[in-house]
Amino acid sequence: MIRVLLAEDDPAHATLTEFAFREVAPPGEPIEVRTVADGRDVVAALDGAPPDLVVLDVRLPGASGFDVLAAIRSTPGWQATPVIMLSMSDREEDRSRAAALGANDYVVKPIGFDALEALLRGVLTQWVGRR
């Protein structure tokens, strides 16, 4: 089973992303998506086992996606976990900040469903792979 932690405070974006993950699940390998709407919930999860992938909105209540990413990258056992940042901002400084903090990818919302599926399929192949 592939475990994904999705941090997204917009219910519509969360639902779309969860559905896209179900659509791209490899045959015989289900995807479990745990969705949280607050950055503090991700930071609290750092005490446990890391998921196979974190999808992280930049603008979250409680703790920004940048703060959460910094916490992920400084937590033993979580440091190599792939992280995709999602944002409504296409500012170069936000992209650069995400890269400097160790994000594996930075995606600007809104993203169409076909593009989201292609992104997630690529992530599952490239970063999560065959553990």
- pLDDT tens digits for range 12-51: 999 989 988 888 888 888 899 999 999 999 999 999 999 9
**Per-residue pLDDT at 131 exceeds 80:** no
Distance CA 83, CA 56 (A): 7
Q: Which pairs count as long-range contacts for 41-50, CB under 8 Å and 24+ apart, including other chains?
A: 41/7, 42/5, 42/7, 42/68, 42/71, 42/72, 43/67, 43/68, 43/71, 45/5, 46/71, 46/72, 46/75, 46/78, 49/77, 50/77, 50/78, 50/81
Mean pLDDT, range 71-82, rounded to an integer: 96
Q: What global pTM score does this model have?
A: 0.91
Residue boundaries of the structural domains of the chain: 2-128
Q: Is the Cβ–Cβ distance between 84 and 105 less than 8 Å?
A: yes
**pLDDT band with cut points at 50, 70 and 90 for residue 114:** confident
Mean pLDDT, range 54-77, rounded to an integer: 96
The answer as to CATH 2.60.120.260 being correct for domain 2-128 is no
In this prediction, residue 129 carries a pLDDT of 59
The DSSP bridge partners found for residue 98 are none
CA angle, residues 115, 120, 122, in degrees to nearest 5: 95
